[in-house]
Amino acid sequence: MPALDVTEARPEHAEAVADIICRSFAARPVLDPPSTATEETADSVRAALESAGGLIVERRGRPMGALLFDESRPGLLGLRRVSVDPQIQARGVASAMVGVAEDIAEERGKDGLWLHVRAELPDTVRFWERRRYVPIGGDGTLLEFGKTLWLARELPTAEDTQALAGRLAALLRAGDLLVLSGGLGAGKTTFTQGLADGLGVRGPVTSPTFVIARSHPSLVGGPSLVHVDAYRLGSAAELDDLDLDASVDEAVTVVEWGEGLAEQLAPNRLHISLERRRAAPGDPLGTAVAADEPGDEDDMRVVTIRPHGPRWVGVPLRSTLLGTC
């Protein structure tokens, strides 16, 4: 099957985009109140494309899908009129558009995306949920979904690791859960030390491997930091025995080695992965270092942060940590 060609729509695509939108929405079940999408014209679409842009999907030159962008909300990219030719449903057109839209949101320095979905269309709701969009509001039958983009950054030194964590601390509040993963010497405790400095909690922060969990009270009237090392725990049940539920709503909880164990503590969380990389000629990212290899002060770290849950929708995660605003 020929590949899909997903490109940014230009004003000269207005007629084709309007046609796809009208045919796509006209083929949907009758809704109350009805969608206004079928009222789109080439002129209204052209104005939208000139204002914020959009996407068009073609295969062998034939238009097959389209959407319009909305930049009315600071730091976010809205998706409007997401449409697929009703004669070619279930061929990956919508998924391809969403992937490109997220890339464009990243290129434009956005923190995330949002859109409206009709509650009477359960298949559409499931489509967005499968792509990690979460409901963040609604008015009757009109649901609002959102997604915060994940990010990755190189951290050449331990100081860079702590500085990034310190900036993240400014976004944290009581009840936040951070699940840290990465091999031995990847920088998980170093990252937590940066968080502690940013939160203004009592130190020192060291690896709690042998005591499993430590609580660091705030010195500035903010939330305390609960620092957990799950390295010696064999199951989520053993983590549950620590009774962290009693403090998770009142503190910022960081669980090292927590992937696959700590997710039960809160539906809203940040998954933070740290990876050691060793410089390689001609490769700016270097090569990954195995978890059991000895550490090297010159090893670079790469951190990946993935938000989960509605708590993080609308939070300026990328712009704060990457300096894109």
Domain CATH for 180? 3.40.50.300
Q: How many domains does the chain have?
A: 2
Which domain covers residue 238, as residue numbers? 151-322
Measure Cα distances from 37 to 45, 81, 82, 168, 197 in Å. Answer: 10, 7, 10, 40, 50
Predicted pLDDT at 264: 84
Predicted pLDDT at 142: 93
- Find the CATH number of the domain harbouring 103: 3.40.630.30
Predicted pLDDT at 197: 96
Predicted pLDDT at 280: 57
* Ranges of residues in the chain whose predicted pLDDT is under 50: 291-292, 294, 325
Last residue of a domain, one of 99, 123, 148: 148
Predicted pLDDT at 266: 86
167: tokens are: 């900036």
177/32 same-domain check: no
Q: Which of 252, 287, 285 is CA-nearest to residue 268?
A: 252
Predicted pLDDT at 231: 78
Predicted pLDDT at 248: 76
Q: How does pLDDT run across 257-282, given as a tens digit for each residue?
A: 888 888 888 889 999 999 987 665 55
108/183 same-domain check: no
Half-sphere exposure of 180 (CA within 13 A, CB side): 27
Q: pTM here?
A: 0.85
